[in-house]
Every structure is written in C-alpha cells, then in structure tokens.
Amino acid sequence: MSGMNFPVNRQIWLRFVEVVKAFVTSNVGGKAIWLSIALIALLLGVNGFNVVNSYVGRDFMSAIAERDQKTFIWQGILYVGVFAVSTVVAVLHRYAEDNLGILFREWLTKHSINGYIENRTYYRLKVEGDVENPDERIADDVRTYTVTTLSIVLMLLNASVTVIAFSGVLWTISPPLFFIAITYALLGSILAIKFGRPLIDLNSKQLDKEADFRSALIHVRANAESIALSRREGRLKVRLLQRVDALADNLRQTFVVSRNLNFFSTGYFNLVQIIPIIIVAPLFFQAKVEFGVVTQSAMAFAQLVGAFSLIVSQFGTISSFTAVLSRLNRLWEAMDHPHDGIDSKIEIIETTDRQITYENLTLRSLDNDRLLLKSLSLSIPHGTRLLITGPNEDAKLALFRATASIFDRGEGKIIRPSLDSIRFLPQRAYLYPGTLRELLMRSGEEHTVSDERMLTTMRELGLGAVLSRVGGLDVEQDWESLLSLGEEQTLAFTRLVLAAPQFAFLDRVYTALKPDQAAQLLLMLSLNSITYVALDEATNMPRLYDAILEIEVDGSWKVRNN
C-alpha cells in the first residue's frame, strides 16, 4: 500500500493467527471456547429471529393493506412477542461478547507484559528506539486489538449466517434482485477501499502522536518541582503545544478522508432502501405479490447487502484495526528477537568463580561506533575493592552496563558470576511505589529476611528517622515524595546489604551523600563481604579502595594498586 509507513503483509496476518491460536490453547482457552460456543449459538438465534421477523412483518403489513383487523391484531401480538424474545437473545449475545473480550484482553495484556519485562526488553527498546511508545501499544493498542478482533470475527460470522438466511428469502421474491444485491455490494466494497485507503496510515500516525502528547504531559507531572524551580515552563509549553498541533493536523487529514468516505457510504446505504422497492413495486401493481412482500423485500435486500458490505460499513474500524495490528506486530517482533539489529561480539560467560574478569574487552558507542574502551584485560577477585575513574565518562558507564548485560556494542569476553550474585546501583536510586518490605526485598523474597534484620540494618545505616515516618514495613508509600535524595540512596544501600551479593557495582552513588555517610556505607559493604566496584572521581575516598582503574578519553587504560 503506497504511502504507508508500515507493511500490511502476510507475516502480520500470520502473527494474528498465532496470537488467536495461543489464546485458545492458553490456561483460559477452555473458558474462551465455551464463551465462543455460546456466542455462536446466540448469533444463530439473533439471525433466526430476524428471518422470522421478516415473515411476521410481511403478514402484519399485508393485514393493514387488506384492512383485515383480526389478522392485524393476531400478527401484532406475534410481532411484539418475537421482538421481546429477540431482544433477550441480543442482550445475552452482547453480554457474552463483552466477557469474551475482557478475557482476551486480560490474557493478551499479561502476555505482552511478560515479553516486555523479560530479558530487559523494556530497556533495549528504549536504547534502540526502533519501537515508539511501547507502553501505549501495550495499554491502548492491545485493548483495541482484542475488542476489534472479536468484533470483526463476530461480524464475519454474522454476515455469513445472514447471507445464508436471507439469500433464500430474497431469491424466492425476485432472483434478479438477489444478483443486484451481490453486484451492488461488490462495487461498493471496491469504491470504499479506494476512498478509505489512506485512513490506515493516518490512523497509525494518530496513535503515535496521541501517545507523544500524553508522554509530554506525564513528563510535566513527574518533574513538577524541578520545572518550577528551574522556571522552564515556557519551553515546556511550546513543546506541549507543538504536540497538540501535530496530532490536530493529522486528525484534520483523517477527517478529510473520512468525509469523502462518508459521502460515499451514506449515499450507498440510502440507495439500499429504495432499490428493492423499485424492483418489487411493479410486481405489487400487477397484483403478483402482496403489499407485505414489498416491505419484506426491502428488509431482505438491506440485510443481504449489509452482510456483503462489511468493508463499506466498517472501513473506519478495519483501517484502525489494521494500524493497530501492524504496530503490535512490530512490538512483538522486537520481543521475539532480542538482539535484532545489534552486532555484538561480546561473550558473556557465567562462572562459579568468585571473581570478575575482562578479556580483551573493547567497547564502542551505540550512536557512531566511537571507540570507548580498548582491549581491557583485568581480573577483580572477590575482596578487591576497585575504583573506576578517569575523564572518559562514556567508557566508565559503558563498562558498568556491559557487566550488567545491557550494553553489547563491542567485542571481547566478560567472565563473571551470575547476575544473582551481582547488584548494580545507579547514580539515582530506583524506588518504586509499594511497601518498605517490597522495596527492600525482591519479588518472592519478601519473607526470606526477618523483620528484625531489616529494621536493624536500617538503623545501622542511619535510617531510624525514616522508620518512624513510614509507619512500618507493610505500609505503601510514594517514596520519591517522602524521602530526600540522601535517604533514597541510603535505602538503596540497605537493600544491597540485605541482598548480600558477592559483588556490587556503584555508579557515582555518592553525589547525594556526605563524605562520612558514603564512607560508612562502603565500610558496611566490606563488613558484609560485599566486594564493590565504584565509578567515581579519584579524589573521593581513595583509602577505601584496593586498586584504581583509570580510563582515558582515547580508550586506553591503566591499573594501579592503591
């Protein structure tokens, strides 16, 4: 499809089939199958009552035309009864559809979250930048995907049943009218595709532009204090207004295409009401059919054309669905191929030895392949406290990330214990919302350390005042608004001490701490047999290190014992 930024190809539709198949065979697949069976049964019921309605309505209108009061009353009662029963069936059908939809959405959202969080996919997608707004795709696109998938499948089933049910009705009234209905729907579908084709690309762009706008608003809320203190409101306002302009401009283009499509579809469906009457009315004038047959033919023709005209009536929905399908396929592809597009020759070897070794490790920048670190060969035995310093900040950070397996541009070997034996502490501590117990211990390990040990460690690290403010280990708090930067960093050290890894990598963690606080925390690590490797300036507490690795701007390096 020319002019589109993404391919709507066979691979995408195969992925669609795979997702539906995985859902059916999942742990909720049994419930989904029963709901699907109920939906099909109710769908058949709805269409069956529509056919019955066409005949009851025919006799009802004929009774009016013939002034037959007795038949009119009887057919009227029957008409109301059929409407009542068909209403109950239609409501139950919608209820079953809603339940199947939320079941599908819940399963697919959890499935996508697992793929997004596992193997640090969330980090890789952010670094590579190939997939825009993955969070919006999981939250909003999955919702649209599940709801629309179910809706389209049901529409196709309903259309198939309607074609079967009303083809016979229309054929018995007038065979030429039956062929006119098919030809009319075919031509209408071709023209609808011609007028509405640009909507697919526009809908895809709109989803990203809306997500960009929401992201900018979230940024303002998350950084409200910093923005207020730095008085940067003007620049942020311009940025927000630019996002609004972008989404509004794209939306206007969408409206233009939708307007042209609506001109066609409105006229198309208006003609549906008059065509069968034009064909059948002469038969009534010649007394070859009853008056009720005229109204029945109009109903049957409309049902049949509607069944064949899903592209015309639902092109907006289909175009949005196609855009969502392509966007989610790109996200799932990135999840399935964690190293797609990355040319890495760094070999990570996990060992049970209590040391970290770099063999001829060379690191390059992600953006322009610039040399950051050249042929580093170094062993860090357990117990050797290492300071990594020098003017090459990019190289130090790349080494920190490469050891954590989140940076893989380069070549060489990293031989280390498993990541369960190493902890990495970034410059700004990450404290997610939750209880203090959840914050201090990893998921599933909340009760592996006694409450007394947690509380004692916090007091030893100077967090007694924090304990009195938070209300205990099991009270949820918004930690970023409750704690100072120094308290946040100290709490991260507490988490490190309780985890008791063999090694700890520290990225400029002292910026929010006083020198005596930092020294106390490092001594606490040593007392707990945690070997630390720190990225910092050489002037910061060199006495607390056994060796110093200096990395120069050109990527060269040297090690000296302290």
List, run by run, the mean pLDDT of 10-residue segments along the chain (562 residues). 47 80 88 89 82 75 78 80 83 88 90 82 75 80 84 78 76 81 83 81 81 82 71 79 90 88 81 78 75 74 75 73 79 69 74 92 86 93 92 91 88 92 86 81 74 88 84 81 84 89 88 82 90 81 86 92 80
Q: Measured in Å, how far apart are the chain's first and last C-alpha atoms? A: 65
Say what the pLDDT of residue 6 is.
43
The per-residue DSSP string of 82-126 comes to HHHHHHHHHHHHHHHHHHHHHHHHHHHHHHHHHHHHGGGHHHHHH
Closest CA to 545 of 424, 409, 428, 380: 380
DSSP assignment letter at 352: S
* pLDDT for the residue numbered 339: 52
The candidate with the shortest Cα–Cα distance to 138, out of 110, 102, 119, 118, is: 110
Distances (CA, A) of 159 to 88, 97, 155, 422: 21, 16, 6, 59
CA angle (519 as vertex; 518, 525 as ends), nearest 5: 95
Which helix (H) or strand (E) segment holds residue 330: the answer is helix 315-336
Query: The dihedral of CA 400, 401, 402, 403: what is its sign?
Result: positive
Distances (CA, A) of 211 to 215, 251, 536: 6, 14, 37
The strand pair at 531-535 and 371-381 is best described as unpaired
For 293, half-sphere exposure in the C-beta direction (CA atoms, 13 angstrom radius) is: 18
The 10 Å CB-count burial string (b at 16+, else e) for 452-486 is: eebbebbeebebeebeeebeebeeebebeeebeee
In one letter, which amino acid is 489? Q
Q: Report whether 284 contacts 296 (CB < 8 A).
A: no
Do 327 and 141 form a contact (C-beta atoms < 8 A)? Answer: yes
pLDDT for 19:
85
| Residue appearing with tokens 């592209």 | 311
pLDDT value of residue 7: 45
**Angle between helix 10-24 and helix 29-65 axes, rounded to 10 deg:** 100
Task: Tell me the domains of the chain and their CATH numbers.
Answer: 10-336 (1.20.1560.10), 345-561 (3.40.50.300)
In this prediction, residue 1 carries a pLDDT of 37
Contact status, residue 525 vs residue 498, Cβ threshold 8 Å = no
CA distance 331 to 333: 5
Give Cβ neighbours of residue 52 (< 8 Å, ≥ 6 apart).
82
DSSP 419: G
